[in-house]
Amino acid sequence: MVNRVVIFTEGGDNIGFGHITRCSALYEELLERKIETVFVVYGKNIEDILKEKNYINQDWKDKEFLQNFLKKDDYVIIDSYLADLDIYEYISSNTSKCMYIDDNNRLKYPKGIILNSVLYEDLEYDTKNPILRGKDYIIVRKEFLEEIKLLEKEYDVLITLGGTDIRNLTPKLIKILEEIDSNFKVAIVIGKAFGNKEEIERLKTEKISLFYNVNASEMRDLILKSKFVICGCGQSIHEMLILKANFFPIIIIENQLNNANGLLKNELVKKIENWDSLDLKKNLLYFFKSNINRKINISNGKKNIVDVFIGGI
């Protein structure tokens, strides 16, 4: 019997919200099974995304904190690009069971389960730990797993780059879309940690609609209401695939490379751009004129993951 699950991760300003988002989906799945779950998150500006969740904002990469906080019978999920190996080893040695979310083979982990929640399955791990990976273990928020109702298309293009816009890419995309077709109706999602809100607002026209800090249901509906979507190459690509959206992914940071490789290997996109590409306008033009039939079925990964974590392996 599992008494408590602890989820350790980081996110917020200057880090992004991808880890918090995918861990939130696992958190909700655990709560649905009436398992006590505690989120321990290190970051700034995270209050809104974690509201109504049982969470602590704490730099958990500290052995004194862990010694006082952890229980021997805890089950622990860790999703981090910041924690050192000795922290993983300490947590593994002082709890009942661990799962490490890692799609980059960042460390040689101690005893536990490795979860690679992307479509790219060719990454090699030097480990004896069991590895969960592939389309059956993709984490998608519950709002994207509900019965999908088709909505009337209200926007030609949706721009959604995540909780932050660290490359200041949104203004560039607005100008490119204006050059391609000044009649495009454009929806733009602005995350809580955008540092360029004022610049984007100055570029707003009657053809541009801005949406601030949208929740999962609102994001789902915006995608369904849009003919084309320009997005980052993070966790949102899986939600695009679930909704069968016509999307153009852009690699914004290095840790999105395996997401990109998974899309390309499975022939789910024809091309993926880097954020600083000089051919962005040319390839967007090609994207708007093309169509791709994506043949992939993503199952309820969060259910499958929790089944294994609290049961099987």
Rounded to an integer, the average pLDDT of 114-133 is: 91
Q: What is the pLDDT of residues 287-297, one digit of tens each?
A: 999 877 777 77
pLDDT above 90: residue 123: no
pLDDT above 90: residue 113: yes
**Band of residue 85 on the pLDDT scale cut at 50, 70, 90:** very high
**pLDDT averaged over every residue in the chain:** 93
Q: Which pTM was predicted?
A: 0.89
pLDDT above 70: residue 313: no
Rounded to an integer, the average pLDDT of 177-200 is: 95
Query: For position 122, what pLDDT does the model report?
Result: 83
- Decide: 17 and 49 in contact? Cβ < 8 Å: yes
Query: For position 291, what pLDDT does the model report?
Result: 77
**Band of residue 52 on the pLDDT scale cut at 50, 70, 90:** confident
The residues with which 37 forms a beta bridge, in sequence order, are 5
Q: What sign does the dihedral 165-168-169-171 (CA atoms) show?
A: positive
Rounded to an integer, the average pLDDT of 110-139 is: 92
Rounded to an integer, the average pLDDT of 176-185 is: 97
Query: For position 312, what pLDDT does the model report?
Result: 66
Instruction: Say what percent of the chain tops pLDDT 90.
Output: 76
Instruction: Say what percent of the chain tops pLDDT 70.
Output: 99
255 vs 116: CA distance, rounded Å = 13
Q: What is the pLDDT of residues 256-268, one digit of tens each?
A: 999 999 999 988 9
Nearest by Cα to 8 from 19, 64, 16:
19
Q: What is the pLDDT of residues 6-22, one digit of tens each?
A: 999 999 877 778 899 99
Structure tokens at 104: 């980059």
Place of tokens 């593994």: 92
Q: Of the given ranges (100-104, 147-151, 172-176, 243-247), which has the lowest mean pLDDT? A: 147-151
